[in-house]
């Protein structure tokens, strides 16, 4: 195990290591760094929107760049690397192998991310995280757009390398005594999400290159002035990024599958139903991409097909919720911080799913599309579900990364503040969307309901900011001065943990 703070070693030894726990640590630190940077941008957006008229952000261009980098950063530089962190720590232990299948490839996949992050942050592009042409092809300023394109290209390659590594580790390196069906659900979640990455990402990789050549003026794939079609980009983009939502959600659900039975002190209600739901979800995730595009002028038949495809993803998600509730039912639950995050995450996952059913019902989509409703809806997924699962899991991993316990009280305060803040911001956004406020606007007219709801959101955002500050202080203080953890059973739950401290790091001999 790592235990860096108890047995310090030179930083270059971690940086140039190929051991899975070291790379897990690098992923953890990187993803948390970008979480706080992206969070600062979100806070800036919400404070700016406190009332009509410019507050402190000078112009709309700056504002547009801020929401673009916020979105890109949170998805690709926080959520995705955090999932890789968890996978790196846990997958080799869960399949009882000494390391990832390809340790050097693992290190390469990580080290592609910092240059990509630099491109995204230093470029500070302005076209939103989906870079919709023709705007991104003919209008968006250089060199920010090109830097974003290259940054995303690198992140895509890194994701594919990481996915190959997880798939081979799970399928080929697992212990011969361990049948695939008995691999823990966290392992299954990484297998499913990695397979989705392999199928989904190449489409966007191609679209990025086409966008780049369009910007250079040598092609016109997405430029109607040259005979191209911008809607073709939307199809290529969402064919990758609707499944990508599941790439993020599935590992977060896997993390909850690790936490909920352990803190309920009861075995999982149904392992096989969890496996089935993961596999089903990864297949169905490819049947719904164009539900993002109803308003682009799709025919009635196309819309119907994608509505059915989208609704088909709901039962699998509902099976997970059922599995969690049935596991907690009658258990002796201990509501430590990781458990609180998981339960809160399930509640918001359910709300997000219910909102998704509304979005996909064709007539209702034309009410919610591109309004603040959509912003609220997907934040309930990416923040309410995925980030909640990730925070809970970070608290869960904390003792065996540092050898110390985090402060339990402040962990719970963090949860309460974030939960209230998330409800204030994201539920309000749903209602604001029904009142017709478009997303991605720098300023808005003085409509009393809009002003009131933006102010509620700003208050919620400040609560989120305070909560995240407490989180950061707790992490730093506790990793240096926290109580020493009982490494056999840090949460006092009994039973056997899948704990990375069992992993032998050659540098610690």
Contact residues for another protein (CB under 8 A)? 60-61, 64, 126-128, 132-135, 138-140, 224-225, 229-231, 270-273, 295-297, 300, 303-304, 307-308, 311, 314-315, 318-319, 322-323, 326, 357, 360-364, 366-367, 369-371, 435-436, 438-445
Q: Judged by CB, which is closer to another protein: 11, or 58?
A: 58
Least separation in angstroms between residue 439's CB and another protein is 8
Q: Judged by CB, which is closer to another protein: 124, or 444?
A: 444
Least separation in angstroms between residue 433's CB and another protein is 10
Token pair 């580790």 is at which residue? 169
Least separation in angstroms between residue 303's CB and another protein is 7
Least separation in angstroms between residue 443's CB and another protein is 5
Q: What is the C-alpha separation between 91 and 334, in angstroms, rounded?
A: 25
Instruction: Give the residue among 76, 89, 83 at the shortest CA–CA distance from 117.
Output: 76
Least separation in angstroms between residue 391's CB and another protein is 28
Q: What is the C-alpha separation between 449 and 500, in angstroms, rounded?
A: 51
Q: Judged by CB, which is closer to another protein: 10, or 363?
A: 363
Length of the chain (residues): 509
Q: Judged by CB, which is closer to another protein: 167, or 231?
A: 231
Number of Cβ within 10 Å of residue 318's Cβ equals: 13
As to burial, measured by CB atoms within 10 angstroms (0-12 exposed, 13-18 middle, 19+ buried), residue 366 is exposed
Q: What is the C-alpha separation between 423 and 508, in angstroms, rounded?
A: 44
Least separation in angstroms between residue 445's CB and another protein is 7
CA dihedral 257, 76, 68, 58 (to 10 degrees): 100
Handedness of CA 269, 271, 275, 280 (dihedral sign): negative
Q: Judged by CB, which is closer to another protein: 310, or 407?
A: 310
Least separation in angstroms between residue 268's CB and another protein is 9
Least separation in angstroms between residue 438's CB and another protein is 5
Instruction: Give the residue among 500, 366, 485, 374 at the shortest CA–CA distance from 426.
Output: 374
Q: What is the C-alpha separation between 309 and 453, in angstroms, rounded?
A: 33
Q: What is the C-alpha separation between 185 and 198, in angstroms, rounded?
A: 20
Identify whether the C-beta of residue 438 lies closer than 8 Å to the C-beta of residue 392. Answer: no
Q: What is the C-alpha separation between 414 and 394, in angstroms, rounded?
A: 13
Q: Judged by CB, which is closer to another protein: 126, or 258?
A: 126
Q: Judged by CB, which is closer to another protein: 135, or 286?
A: 135
Least separation in angstroms between residue 311's CB and another protein is 5
Identify whether the C-beta of residue 437 lies closer than 8 Å to the C-beta of residue 372. Answer: yes
Q: Judged by CB, which is closer to another protein: 103, or 228?
A: 228
Q: Judged by CB, which is closer to another protein: 435, or 498?
A: 435
Q: Which parts of 265-386 fold into alpha helices (H)?
A: 271-284, 300-311, 313-328, 337-360, 362-368, 372-379
Q: Judged by CB, which is closer to another protein: 15, or 61?
A: 61
Q: What is the C-alpha separation between 211 and 232, in angstroms, rounded?
A: 11
Q: What is the C-alpha separation between 211 and 205, in angstroms, rounded?
A: 10
């Amino acid at each position: 195990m790592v235990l860096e703070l108890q047995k310090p070693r030179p930083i270059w030894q971690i940086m140039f290591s190929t051991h899975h726990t070291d790379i897990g640590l690098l992923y953890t630190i990187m993803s948390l760094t970008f979480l706080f940077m992206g969070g600062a941008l979100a806070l800036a957006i919400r404070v700016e929107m406190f009332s009509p008229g410019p507050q402190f952000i000078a112009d709309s261009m700056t504002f547009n760049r801020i929401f673009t980098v916020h979105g890109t950063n949170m998805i690709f530089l926080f959520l995705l690397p955090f999932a890789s962190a968890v996978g790196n720590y846990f997958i080799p232990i869960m399949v009882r192998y000494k390391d990832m299948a390809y340790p050097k490839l693992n290190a390469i996949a990580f080290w592609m991310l910092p240059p990509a992050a630099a491109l995204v942050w230093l470029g500070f592009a302005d076209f939103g995280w989906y870079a919709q042409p023709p705007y991104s092809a003919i209008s968006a300023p250089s060199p920010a757009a090109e830097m974003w394109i290259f940054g995303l290209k690198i992140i895509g390659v890194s994701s594919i390398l990481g996915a190959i590594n997880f798939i081979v580790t799970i399928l080929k390196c697992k212990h011969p005594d361990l049948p695939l069906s008995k691999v823990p659900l966290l392992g299954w979640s990484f297998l499913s999400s990695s397979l989705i990455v392999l199928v989904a990402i190449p489409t966007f990789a191609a679209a990025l290159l086409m966008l780049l050549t369009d910007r250079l003026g040598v092609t016109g794939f997405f430029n109607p002035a040259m005979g191209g079609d911008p809607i073709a980009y939307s199809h290529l983009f969402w064919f990758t990024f609707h499944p990508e939502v599941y790439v993020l959600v599935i590992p977060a659900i896997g993390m909850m599958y690790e936490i909920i039975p352990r803190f309920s002190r009861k075995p999982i209600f149904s392992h096989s139903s969890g496996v089935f739901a993961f596999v089903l979800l990864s297949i169905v995730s490819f049947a719904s991409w164009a539900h993002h595009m109803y308003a682009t002028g799709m025919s009635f038949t196309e819309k119907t097909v994608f509505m059915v495809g989208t609704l088909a993803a709901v039962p699998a998600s509902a099976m997970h919720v059922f599995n969690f509730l049935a596991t907690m039912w009658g258990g002796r639950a201990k509501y430590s911080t990781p458990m609180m995050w998981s339960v809160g995450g399930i509640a918001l996952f359910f709300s997000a799913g219910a909102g998704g059913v509304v979005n996909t019902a064709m007539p209702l989509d034309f009410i919610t599309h591109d309004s603040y409703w959509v912003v609220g809806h997907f934040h309930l997924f990416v923040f309410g579900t995925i980030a909640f699962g990730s925070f809970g899991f970070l608290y869960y991993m904390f003792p065996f990364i540092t050898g110390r316990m985090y402060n339990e009280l402040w962990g719970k305060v963090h949860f309460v503040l974030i939960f209230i803040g998330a409800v204030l911001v994201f539920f309000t956004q749903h209602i604001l969307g029904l009142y017709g406020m478009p997303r991605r606007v720098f300023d808005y007219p003085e409509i009393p309901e809009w002003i009131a709801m933006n102010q509620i959101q700003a208050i919620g955002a400040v609560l989120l900011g305070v909560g995240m500050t407490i989180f950061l202080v707790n992490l730093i203080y506790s990793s240096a001065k926290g109580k020493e953890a009982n490494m056999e059973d840090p949460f006092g739950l009994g039973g056997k943990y899948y704990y990375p401290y069992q992993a032998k790091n050659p540098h610690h001999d």
